[in-house]
Structure 1
């Protein structure tokens, strides 16, 4: 039984129920006076509590994917091979599932989580597209991270067999999981519907978690002497995807989005690495990275600590550093979310050549129903910033420095605002 499987959850729940029943049945016998009876009561209560907590923990882990396997739970994490896989002449075929190549940077993974996701494409891939379950191997960082990759129908069609596709990387919040992205945020399902209706150009969606050293929250930071999350997402991940799939080779074809801390990470990656990602979509993000009990010390010590912290403070960057030539979208609710004032301050601080758009609904919460509502407008806006086909259609048009995407209803619309 896998750690995240429903069978494990049901078995642990059954064990907990049996322990409760035994406790009730044995309690009259254990109620007598004497040392052994006292020890028996303590043992019975202790075992019952442990099984209840274990059952709850299994359910919580199955839902949020703190740990993906038993070996990961006990600290046995995969290490990356040192070999580098090169793309063949076709620049990736999309046939990752069922193929295991030693040293490859994208490797097939089990589909246990994928089978639990509803609404995924079925039937011929050239008609409905396909979602693959893979492992991304970080050549520089040694990280092995699970991912889901949605490939649009055009990827498998003969008319597009020489085309490279734009990519949007979707990041979960903390602790988060790729299952949350697929099942609750419905990344691939929403993208597929928008592409099928012609509201979005064919785009590859990559769902991945930024929590590369669970249970620690690294906030997409290269921790001195610790996990190198930024390097993994800004260097290892694009390199791995380019080695296995027909994805754009220029930054103009790459975007990154996320919710909560994943949205913060999307902004960080784009503003700090504009040569890798030129477009970001951030749903309910923060704009500054701080140490807390889940992160530990992210910035080390010594003279460089302040510089490292400032480098991940987006408001500080906008004030003291040249604005990067990127486009970002930020979403926050006026009522129901705490970050609305900070989002307004961020929008106001953005200056050319950087561009910003926003989704600012009147009401919402820091939860999936709000983010699902914001997803279609976010994906459509991001997709408009990305080039496809990359090698055929360059981008020469200019966009206004500030735009607002209003999300007052199920189908938000985008309107242009005047320059500051």
Structure 2
């Protein structure tokens, strides 16, 4: 049975009801020696405790989309088939233009929490050696005959850690919030792409490439990106691509956008950080060299020192001590054409999905001013 979804939720409720009714019905009816009666009653109490804790976990997990599968929860699964050294550009000596198209079969999303119209596919990354599910949400204009020859800008959505690929479409209700705003013309239409980021058991990859362990950067910036371009009317230029993340996903969005201005033009970071070691389970944070190299501050400093500040637009939001200072640090380093907009959050409830959910319309309005489709602004 799936860890998420209605069946497991209803099963948890049923077990809790049984756990409450059993002691009420049988407590005084248990026969046998005192020790046997005591053990039977203790077992019923423990069963009630376990089922109560299980139901609370299910409610929290479903609300925040933390773990998709039992393997994710128990740390027994891996989505890494190979992790060869792909070099500084994450391509392993290959060129995207030379790679054959990777056409995929899509099916309706397997969990209603993501809302209507979401499709998914199981992608095997040819470059990265990573495999995982990818969810795709198409804007209402996509199937409109008036747009049949139009390409659309794309935003990759990255969750925190632990986090499910469904979180933006599920907990943050991104598609549900954006659909009417796109239909009314208040927000430009985007293709939303939500790939799996929890690809290695029990650790946060920090969205980096580590030869012999994982190529998380190439999974997101090469394989997923190419698959979307191959299968949908998506723009293929950097001006058509952005990233958006919260918490650990915010760190990834900023790091990837600054590292690959040839692939992305903009990134949104909500309640993120620059130093990957802030996340205790971060692979990048535990490696002294990677900790420096994957810090967005270092990436920006190095680009500036080389006389090549990236043409990247960043939107950073957060409360004091929870993302705001990270944004100010980047803003102070930014040199044209790099731009950094920072918003300080006050009194909005801390490091929670409710805070990030409320920002969805605002950040997509900002993205609409940064990204274009097929080299021209989408109307």
Residue 237 of structure 2 contacts residue 374 of structure 2 at CA under 8 Å; is this kept in 1? no
Which residue pairs with 1:112 in the alignment?
Answer: 110
Residue 137 of structure 1 contacts residue 240 of structure 1 at CA under 8 Å; is this kept in 2? no
Q: Which runs of structure 2 are paired with 1:268-279 in the superposition (5 Å)?
A: 268-279=255-266
Judged with a 3 Å threshold, the aligned counterparts in structure 2 of structure 1 residues 61 and 224 are, in CA distance, closer, same or farther, namely farther
Give the deviation of 1:223 after TM superposition. 4.0
Which residue pairs with 1:267 in the alignment?
Answer: 254
Q: Which TM-score applies when normalising by structure 1?
A: 0.73
Residue 239 (structure 2) pairs with residue 252 (structure 1): yes
Q: Which runs of structure 2 are paired with 1:276-291 in the superposition (5 Å)?
A: 276-290=263-277
How many equivalent residue pairs? Answer: 357
Give the deviation of 1:26 after TM superposition. 3.6
Which residue pairs with 1:7 in the alignment?
Answer: 7
Which residue pairs with 1:329 in the alignment?
Answer: 315
**Alignment partners' CA distance in 2, 1:141 and 1:41:** 54
Give the deviation of 1:333 after TM superposition. 3.5
**Alignment partners' CA distance in 2, 1:317 and 1:73:** 33
Give the deviation of 1:142 after TM superposition. 3.8
Q: Which TM-score applies when normalising by structure 2?
A: 0.80
Which residue, out of 170, 173, 192, partners 1:205? 192
Residue 111 (structure 2) pairs with residue 135 (structure 1): no
Deviations 1:87-116, CA, capped at 9 Å, x for gaps? 5xxxxxxxxxxxxxxxx6644345332x23
- C-alpha RMSD over aligned residues: 3.3
* Structure 1: 5+ residue stretches without partners: 88-103, 121-129, 396-420
Secondary structure at the aligned position of 1:389 is classed as coil
Which residue, out of 360, 365, 368, partners 2:344? 360
Give the deviation of 1:167 after TM superposition. 0.7
**Alignment partners' CA distance in 2, 1:201 and 1:394:** 9
Residue 223 (structure 2) pairs with residue 236 (structure 1): yes
Residue 251 of structure 2 contacts residue 272 of structure 2 at CA under 8 Å; is this kept in 1? yes
**Alignment partners' CA distance in 1, 2:319 and 2:278:** 25
Give the deviation of 1:357 after TM superposition. 1.8
Moved more, 187-196 or 27-36: 27-36
**Alignment partners' CA distance in 1, 2:326 and 2:347:** 16
Which residue pairs with 1:400 in the alignment?
Answer: none
Deviations 1:290-348, CA, capped at 9 Å, x for gaps? 165433x4366xxxx433211111223333443322111111245xx533233222211
Which residue pairs with 2:333 in the alignment?
Answer: 349
**Alignment partners' CA distance in 2, 1:116 and 1:292:** 27
Secondary structure at the aligned position of 2:328 is classed as helix
Judged with a 3 Å threshold, the aligned counterparts in structure 2 of structure 1 residues 359 and 13 are, in CA distance, closer, same or farther, namely same
Secondary structure at the aligned position of 1:112 is classed as coil
Judged with a 3 Å threshold, the aligned counterparts in structure 2 of structure 1 residues 271 and 288 are, in CA distance, closer, same or farther, namely same
Higher relative CO (CA 8 A, sep ≥ 6), structure 1 or 2? 2
Which residue, out of 179, 182, 195, partners 2:182? 195
Give the deviation of 1:41 after TM superposition. 4.1
**Alignment partners' CA distance in 2, 1:223 and 1:384:** 34
Which residue pairs with 2:152 in the alignment?
Answer: 165
